[in-house]
Amino acid sequence: MIEVAASMARGPVFLAGELMECLITFTNPMSHLSTSASSEMLAWASAQIHCQFHASESRVALPAQGNKQDVQAESDTVLIPSRGERGQCVLDTPPKILFCDLCLDPGESKTYSYSEVVPIDGPPSFRGQAVKYVYKLTIGCQRVNSPIKLLRVPFRVLVLQGMPEPPFPQDEEVSPSNPFLEEEEASHRDARPLERALDMLMVTTSRRCPHMFNITNLRGKVAKFCIFKTVYRLGEDIVGTFNFSEGDIPCLQYSVSLQSEEEIQQHYQRRPGQAISVTGHGRHLESCLHTASSHFSLPIPLNVTPGFSTDIVTLRWRLHFEFVTAREPMEPPTVLQNQSEVTVWVGAEHVDVDTFSWDLPIKVLPTNPALASYVSQFTGTNSINI
């Protein structure tokens, strides 16, 4: 028996275009003191990345696929990384040979390093209601005259889409200069794609430009709303403020929800004009009658997928507002100046109300992959015995 273990030391989350490194260890667990101990042989082992696509048949109409045989003969030495997986393999990297003819004595182990650039032209990892994109590192190994065994290590890929054009030349530094770094070290740092992408991401999501909105319905003005920016990265808090003192219509209650919209492209929809799938990721609810101002803070979870678009699906983000307003003016409680006794105000038992909603589109971008690794459902490790 040989134990095969794989470990992604940097974590299970990567940015498209980043170099992924994985250590793969082959161990003969038998003790050399055991009477039944013997050397173990492996003919070969290789590794590659692939992305598996799966769509809901009730929502997505995909073109008919030919009869693809997903059967591998015991004597076959060709690695099919998606063998036994659901859906279609939409992206894979060329396989890399780790070794040929490996012999392990009892108690011996050998470790090989696999590295590959995560393809930049693929979709991000996504588990939606109609579409799923799943990335895995597949390690295949085979004994002589035995079937191929597969070890799969799932991981998450973040893709940087929807970035605005940079307001400076590409050769200009986007991060603060450090006087304690030598010029060669600084230029080498800025030349690395991951660091430049993260610097650009930080600059884009750090810009603040307050946006003001007048919230009105058919009866008049309800409030003034202010949000400090509309481009965020995963893990940030969305903060907004309401000023009800400028409104003419009493607002009894408001709620703000962070939502994602999953829309299937028109030519792939199972039914013409089918509804967009909406998923909620957080909600703030507050009663605000006789309140002059209020605010909310909604965190963007680290484990959600930033906005993206492929030829099959588009994912967008928005803030969904709901307001409950009174149809008639409501007098606030009166408190006399120098009043020593406690005054108790009792609200009206019946109030005629109107409700309305409003959607504000926002952009959600990725974050540092190392930060997202802390809350990932994947561990970046896996093992099998062959």
| pLDDT per position as a tens digit, 282-314 | 999 999 988 999 999 999 999 999 999 999 999
The pLDDT assigned to 162 comes to: 57
pLDDT at position 157, please?
96
Judge if 3-63+76-160+370-385 and 205-330+351-365 fold alike in CATH terms: yes
Q: Which residues of the chain have pLDDT under 70?
A: 33, 35, 65-79, 162-193, 335-336, 339-340
Torsional class of 101: left (φ above 0), alpha (ψ -120 to 50), beta (otherwise): left
pLDDT at 343: 73
Please name the residue that has the structure tokens 């065994």. 149
DSSP 156-186: EEE---SPPPPSS-TTS--S---TTS-HHHH
- Torsion angle of the four alpha carbons 26, 31, 32, 35, in this order, in degrees rounded to the nearest 10: -130
| pLDDT at position 198 | 85
CATH classification (class only), 3-63+76-160+370-385: mainly beta
The CATH number corresponding to 205-330+351-365 among 2.60.40.640, 3.30.2000.20, 2.130.10.10, 2.40.128.20 equals: 2.60.40.640
pTM score of the predicted model: 0.84
Task: Specify the pLDDT at position 230.
Answer: 94
Check residue 347 and give its pLDDT: 73
Domain ranges of the chain: 3-63+76-160+370-385, 205-330+351-365
Rounded to whole angstroms, how far apart are CA atoms 249 and 217?
Answer: 9
**pLDDT of 65:** 65
Specify the pLDDT at position 67: 46
> Average pLDDT of the chain?
86
pLDDT score, position 44:
93
